[in-house]
């Protein structure tokens, strides 16, 4: 064989380049094969985690709501633990199988069509909402209504082939029944819904009027989807009215507080943040824009997002601030904030998402798992909030960042999380919450969102074939809803009574305020001012300085 040194310089250079290229191709191929092997191995580990949690639930807790893994028993989370509460339970009440409802979309993603169909059959025959039960509107919406809607959409998608027998929209009928039972909660002077509703009797006498920003501002995905599927506009209208009212109540800094009164419309807690009590409000503005295509969702989100960057962000961290002054109130990291980098990915702010995500993972590595609250100013865990209830938010953001960057470092993050969950929280009866991350003392509770979100996002991190087939948005409880063009508003080119400025600069009837996104109130030369209509981009404000955008802006 002739060596490179016996060739003339040009041929020698060319041959050596070919050899080098071949070497790098071999190395790259080998590296890619190693990466794929690692992803396959981790995918199977997460699959085993899911079924360890799911099988124990089905064995020891079903049809009750959630599993108590240490004692291998059950809790009806709607009546005992968590944010949901049922009262005056009928003697024959056996739970509403919340974990089963929450698990259906995960079963679909894992490709288990037989277990998915079995779950659909059971829910169709047994799930009832005509019970004298007081439930939290927000939690019941994201867990049960969202789970039913998502599972229905997966069941009717022919590409998934999840139902072998007949399916006659049973889950959608259940969702519609539940949605109708939500509607009395919105019958307030402000349109903001009560936080609690009795599924049989509506709003109870002397019901509390206090709710949270996320509680009344994070309903639009599920209720909007329900309206699109049933043709009944009441669900979306109620949720949208509440969302617009909430936006009208923002401060001049575009900040919102944490809690408010649904009757008076007054703020009760002025501290604003991206964490508990407000978090999913931001999330649903952006995801509603993606799902429904309404421009005003984007306008609200972009204003709120810019305000969060201005008043909350301190390097990679986000503190809380007074909604009126913008001054910091609490310097603390909460585990719920870990969803934020994932939302930033959807908004296209990848650099900021990466920076914040790395800080969250630093805290995870420091303690083995993520504590509920971490005091930034003291660099210590909050003394009374040391627990970790198997939350999914960091796994969620890791999945989104890997999708956006394909940086294998995020796979390492996911691998570390899987290792920690198996090391610290896995028990013979499932996966247990951690009461104290400094001692790893466990608590007898496996939340339904561990199956709905934590396992789902970790699985999708290592196997994204499900999202490669379709465009989906995931609700705040991790339930996938397919993005379809037919759900996007097709705005008319014009309609009578709405005269505004055309793109050519002339006032004419052929352009609408809706399609051009200009405020009808600036149509000074309108020929029919009495027929002005509210445009999609214009949300009436209480504050005079909250003016509508001008044409130039």
Tens digit of each residue's pLDDT (9 = 90 or more) over 424-439: 999 999 999 999 999 9
To the nearest 10°, report the CA torsion of 223, 225, 226, 229.
160
Catalytic residue among 372, 415, 453, 463: 372
Catalytic residue among 279, 283, 296, 453: 279
| 44 carries an active-site annotation | no
Catalytic residue among 139, 359, 443, 444: 139
- A 10 A CB-CB count for 386 gives 19
Q: Which two three-digit tokens encode residue 495? A: 């309609």
| 530 carries an active-site annotation | no
Contact 194, 262 (CB under 8 A): yes
To the nearest 10°, report the CA torsion of 386, 392, 393, 399.
140
| 176 carries an active-site annotation | no
Residues of the chain predicted below pLDDT 70: 1-28, 77-95, 490-553
Note the pTM of the prediction, 2 decimals: 0.83
pLDDT for position 507: 29
Q: Can you give 140-191 as a three-state secondary structure string?
A: HHHHHHHHHHHHHHHHHCCCCCCCCCCCCCHHHHHHHHHHHHHHHHHCCCCC
pLDDT for position 537: 31
pLDDT for position 378: 87
pLDDT for position 540: 41
- A 10 A CB-CB count for 265 gives 17
pLDDT for position 25: 59
| 102 carries an active-site annotation | no
The CA distance from 44 to 59, in Å, is 22
pLDDT for position 518: 38
Report the half-sphere exposure of 400 (CA within 13 A, side-chain side).
27
**Under 8 Å CB-to-CB from 170, ≥6 apart: which residues?**
120, 123, 124
Partnered with residue 354 across adjacent β-strands are none
Tell me the Cα Rg of the chain.
26
- A 10 A CB-CB count for 130 gives 10
Catalytic residue among 76, 393, 396, 463: 393
């Amino acid at each position: 064989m002739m060596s490179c040194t016996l060739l003339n310089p040009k041929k020698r250079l060319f041959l050596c380049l070919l050899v080098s290229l071949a070497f790098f191709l071999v190395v790259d191929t080998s590296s890619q094969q190693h990466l794929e092997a690692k992803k396959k191995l981790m995918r199977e580990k997460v699959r085993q985690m899911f079924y360890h949690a799911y099988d124990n639930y089905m064995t020891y807790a079903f049809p009750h709501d959630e599993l108590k893994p240490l004692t291998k028993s059950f809790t009806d989370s709607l009546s005992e633990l968590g944010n949901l509460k049922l009262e005056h339970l009928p003697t024959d009440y056996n739970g509403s199988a919340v974990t089963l409802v929450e698990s259906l979309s995960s079963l679909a993603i894992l490709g288990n069509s037989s277990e998915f169909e079995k779950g659909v059959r059971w829910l169709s025959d047994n799930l009832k909402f005509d019970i004298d039960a007081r439930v939290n509107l927000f939690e019941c919406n994201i867990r049960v209504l969202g789970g039913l809607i998502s599972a229905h959409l997966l069941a009717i998608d022919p590409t998934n082939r999840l139902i072998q027998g007949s399916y006659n929209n049973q889950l959608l009928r259940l969702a519609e029944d539940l949605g109708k039972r939500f509607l009395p909660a919105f019958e307030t002077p402000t349109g903001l819904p009560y936080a609690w509703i009795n599924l049989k009797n509506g709003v109870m006498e002397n019901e509390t009027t206090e709710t949270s920003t996320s509680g009344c501002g994070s309903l639009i995905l599920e209720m909007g989807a329900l309206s699109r599927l049933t043709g009944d506009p009441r669900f979306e209208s109620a949720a949208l009215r509440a969302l617009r009212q909430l936006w009208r109540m923002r401060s001049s800094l575009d900040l919102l507080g944490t809690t408010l009164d649904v009757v008076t419309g007054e703020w009760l807690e002025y501290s604003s943040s991206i964490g508990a009590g407000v978090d999913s409000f931001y999330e649903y503005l952006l995801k509603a824009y993606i799902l429904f295509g309404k421009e005003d969702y984007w306008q609200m989100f972009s204003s709120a997002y810019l305000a969060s960057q201005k008043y909350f962000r301190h390097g990679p961290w986000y503190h809380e601030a007074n909604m009126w002054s913008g001054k910091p109130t609490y310097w603390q990291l909460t585990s719920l904030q870990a969803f934020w980098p994932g939302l930033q990915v959807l908004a296209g702010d990848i650099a900021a998402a990466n920076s914040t995500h790395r800080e969250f993972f630093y805290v995870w590595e420091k303690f083995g798992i993520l504590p509920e609250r971490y005091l930034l100013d003291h660099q210590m865990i909050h003394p009374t909030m040391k627990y970790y209830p198997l939350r999914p938010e960091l796994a969620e953001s890791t999945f989104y960042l890997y999708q956006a960057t394909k940086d294998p470092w995020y796979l390492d993050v996911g691998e570390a999380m899987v290792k920690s969950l198996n090391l610290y929280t896995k028990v013979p009866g499932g996966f247990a919450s951690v009461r104290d991350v400094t001692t790893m003392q466990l608590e007898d509770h496996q939340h339904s969102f561990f199956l709905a979100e934590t396992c789902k996002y970790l699985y999708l991190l290592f196997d994204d074939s499900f999202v490669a087939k379709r465009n989906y948005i995931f609700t705040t409880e991790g339930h996938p809803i397919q993005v379809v063009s037919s759900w996007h508003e097709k705005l008319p080119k014009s309609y009578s009574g709405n005269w505004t400025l055309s793109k050519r600069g002339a006032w004419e009837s052929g352009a609408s305020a809706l399609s051009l996104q200009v405020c009808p109130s600036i149509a000074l030369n309108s020929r029919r001012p009495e027929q002005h209509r509210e445009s999609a981009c214009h949300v009436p404000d209480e504050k005079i300085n909250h003016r509508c955008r001008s044409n130039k802006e």
